[in-house]
């Protein structure tokens, strides 16, 4: 069993991004919008800023109050779209309930949409045109698989979770690389059977869902879940101790997909479209 070391691989990616940024004729500028005071979002946003600084990308965090009017937020985004000094825009999710997330996403210019969430970028991925940006987490996972020489073509892949941020784009990216993809979710029947026959399992649920008896020998297991146990310890969707002995490759939590997501986002933030 080989551990997919996201920490080490992310450092390699970040150093490539850093050299790329140094060669550009402009300094990329990522603007991160944080609405309200979701504690987890604050930590994510801070980590994104730290990573940007590390690779020479300018970053600005715009903190807005949780009661901001939807239109005021949309107006801010339009201004950032028009600002030639801003090359990337990221609106941290979740947003307060009175704000329509989809309206917000649709307002971001696809050429500055470093999350790859706008309909243009999502649609391009779906129909096989190169998008301006691929969503960070699935792109980071593909980078991790590539780093370890894991072949995707012709493999049976099971993606657990169908979110717009991870599950759906992950399925699209695996499909694009010629895997046979099954997307599972809370209504899926016989999840165990599906996991058992998979060559590649990507779990993005946020619950302990992948357990020992489910796994096929030598499969690749990628754990996107990250949540705290009652004792405060961070854990993922996969029961690592029992699943890992039968895997070919497995990503740990923490130190797997998390750092890859940040590195992948920085890769996106280093892309400048004019």
The contact set with ligand GUN (CB under 6 A) reads 90-93, 115, 136, 165
- Catalytic, 115? Answer yes
CB of 214 to ligand GUN, least distance (A): 26
Q: Of how many residues is the chain composed? A: 274
Structure tokens at 19: 């050299």
| 137 and 264 Cβ atoms separated by less than 8 Å | yes
**Which residue has its beta carbon closest to ligand GUN?**
93
Q: What DSSP line would sit under 134-187, residue for residue?
A: --HHHHHHHHHHHHTT---TT-EEEEE---TTTHHHHHHHHHHTT-EEEEE-TT
Residue closer to ligand GUN (CB basis): 7 or 42: 42
Active site residue 113: no
C-beta of 169 vs 252, nearer to ligand GUN: 169
Nearer to ligand GUN by Cβ, of 35 and 195: the residue is 35
Q: How far is the CB of 137 from ligand GUN (least distance, A)?
A: 6
Residue 147, preceding peptide bond in cis (omega within 30° of 0): no
Q: CB neighbours of 238 closer than 8 A, spacing ≥ 6?
A: 203, 208, 209, 210, 221, 223, 225, 250, 253
Per the listing, tokens 């979701």 go with 38
> Which is the catalytic residue, given 5, 48, 199, 237?
48
For ligand GUN, give the closer residue by CB, 9 or 92.
92
Residue 3: CB minimum distance to ligand GUN, A: 24
Q: Has 92 been annotated as catalytic?
A: yes
Q: What is the largest CA-CA distance in the chain?
A: 54
Residues 6 or more apart whose CB falls under 8 angstroms from that of 47 comprise 262
Given the residues 5, 113, 115, 237, the one annotated as active site: 115
Written as six digits, the tokens of 97 are: 């309930």
Smallest separation (angstroms) from ligand GUN to the CB of 246: 30
Nearer to ligand GUN, 74 or 242 (CB): 74
Query: Half-sphere exposure of 134 toward its Cβ, with a 13 Å CA cutoff?
Result: 26
Integer Cα distance of 159 and 101 in angstroms = 24
For the bound state, the minimum distance from the C-beta of residue 227 to ligand GUN, rounded and expressed in Å, comes to 13
Question: Considering 5, 58, 92, 223, which one is annotated as catalytic?
Answer: 92
Which sequence positions are flagged as catalytic? Answer: 48, 92, 115
């Amino acid at each position: 069993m080989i551990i997919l070391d996201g920490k080490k691989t992310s450092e390699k990616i970040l150093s490539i991004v850093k050299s790329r940024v140094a060669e550009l004729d402009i300094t990329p500028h990522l603007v991160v919008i944080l609405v309200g005071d979701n504690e987890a979002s604050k930590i994510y946003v801070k980590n994104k800023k730290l990573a940007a600084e590390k690779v020479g990308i300018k970053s600005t965090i715009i903190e807005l109050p949780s009661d901001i009017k939807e239109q005021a937020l949309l107006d801010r985004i339009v201004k950032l779209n028009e600002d030639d000094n801003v090359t990337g825009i990221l609106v941290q999710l979740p947003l307060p309930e009175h704000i329509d997330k989809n309206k917000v996403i649709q307002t971001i210019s696809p050429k500055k949409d470093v999350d790859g969430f706008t309909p243009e970028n999502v649609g391009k991925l779906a129909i096989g045109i190169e998008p301006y940006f691929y969503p960070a987490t699935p792109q980071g996972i593909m980078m991790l698989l590539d780093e370890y020489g894991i072949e995707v073509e012709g493999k049976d892949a099971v993606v657990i979770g169908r979110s717009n941020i991870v599950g759906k784009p992950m399925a699209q990216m695996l499909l694009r690389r010629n895997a046979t993809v099954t997307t599972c979710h809370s209504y899926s029947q016989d999840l165990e059977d599906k996991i058992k026959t998979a060559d590649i399992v990507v779990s993005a649920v946020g619950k302990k869902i992948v357990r020992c008896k489910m796994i096929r020998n030598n499969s690749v297991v990628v754990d996107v879940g990250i949540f705290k146990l009652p004792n405060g310890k961070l854990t993922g969707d996969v029961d690592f101790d029992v699943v890992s002995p039968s895997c070919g490759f497995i990503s740990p939590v923490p130190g797997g997909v998390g750092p890859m997501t940040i590195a992948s986002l920085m890769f996106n933030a280093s892309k400048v479209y004019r």
